A = this chain, B = another copy of it.
């Protein structure tokens, strides 16, 4: 048998990636994980591609220092804007959350109407459209994409079931309801927390959790740890100790992970000032 006891590295702009880590741990409980949340610079969703690429390279470099066997980019914005850049610069496998979810959406739809919701950066990048179209065989589905920038702050406020959240979600999803989508890609790692509200608005649509899809792909890519009857370890790091991370981590992950260690990852800035 062929085993690899190195940890799996996971990074996100903040806390959202914990919903991805949750599925990774559920699927591969014996693996060791290094999680990095770039909480000093969160969110990535409203920043430029160049800036997201720089921050992603710094996150990946930190994970490599921990000798990881795989990097999971557990952030839709970074997956949309920085994945190719990371793959070119890394000698280990790097997976994002978009391609696995796109494949799952194509397999799920029956009527050919797929909804995609995400941050402005993710939706503007059209990464889901491109990825879905690559997986299509036969008739191309109609993809209905909507930016939902208020969902992340609503989740981080813990307003998961408030009337305001339902009101805003109805506004955002209006065109998707009208289009009779039967599949809704939750294109942001925060959005699974809103699944109960979203289900009431599009009750007939299958919700695609990008973290769940990415976990399956990760499992298929790495050699497993040597089998034991022990659970693996999780080491969590953040770039800023913020109240939100500590308060929300358990609800995002499903179990407590204690206080993460703060680290500094922003090395020399490779960007040049431009006018």
A positions within 8 Å CB-CB of B: 39-42, 46-48, 51, 120, 124, 149-150, 152-154, 156-157, 159, 162-164, 167-168, 171, 240-244, 261-264, 266, 268-269, 271-275
Task: Report B-chain residues with C-beta under 8 Å of the C-beta of A39.
Answer: 47
Contact A273 B263 (CB under 8 A): yes
Taking a contact as CB atoms under 8 Å apart, the answer to whether B273 and A51 are in contact is no
Q: Please, could you name 11 A-B residue pairs with CB atoms under 8 Å apart, sorted by A?
A: A41-B41, A47-B240, A51-B240, A120-B243, A149-B157, A150-B154, A150-B164, A153-B153, A164-B168, A261-B273, A264-B273
Q: A40-B41, A157-B149, A167-B164 are in contact. Are A46 and B271 (CB under 8 A)?
A: no
**A55 — nearest CB in chain B belongs to which residue?**
B40
CB distance from A237 to the nearest CB of B (A): 9
A149 to chain B, nearest CB (A): 6
CA distance A171 to B157 in the complex (A): 13
- What's the minimum C-beta distance from A215 to chain B, rounded to whole angstroms? 28
The answer for the CA separation of A264 and B163 in the assembled complex, in Å, is 42
| A40-B51, A153-B149 given; A242·B273 CB < 8 A | no
Query: Once the chains are docked, how many angstroms separate the CA of A154 from the CA of B168?
Result: 11
| A39 CB to nearest chain B CB (Å) | 7
For the complex, what is the distance from the CA of A224 to the CA of B46, rounded to whole Å? 38
Distance to closest chain B CB from A55 (angstroms):
9
A167 and chain B: residue at smallest CB distance: B164
Query: What are the residues of chain B within 8 A of A152 when measuring CB–CB?
Result: 153
CA distance in complex: A46, B40 (Å)? 9
Q: A163-B167, A167-B167, A243-B120 are in contact. Are A42 and B46 (CB under 8 A)?
A: yes
Q: Which residues of B contact A162 (CB under 8 A)?
A: 171
Q: How many angstroms from the CA of A234 to the CA of B163 in the assembled complex?
A: 43
Contact B266 A273 (CB under 8 A): no
Q: A242 contacts which chain B residues (CB < 8 A)?
A: 46-48
Distance between A266 CB and nearest chain B CB, rounded to angstroms: 6
Are A264 and B275 in touch, CB under 8 angstroms? no
Chain B residue nearest to A259 (CB atoms) is B275
Query: What is the bound-complex CA distance between A154 and B41, given in angstroms?
Result: 20
20 more contacts with CB within 8 A, not counting A162-B171, A264-B269, are A39-B47, A40-B41, A40-B47, A40-B51, A41-B41, A48-B240, A48-B242, A120-B243, A149-B153, A150-B154, A150-B164, A153-B153, A163-B167, A164-B164, A164-B167, A261-B275, A262-B274, A263-B273, A264-B272, A266-B269
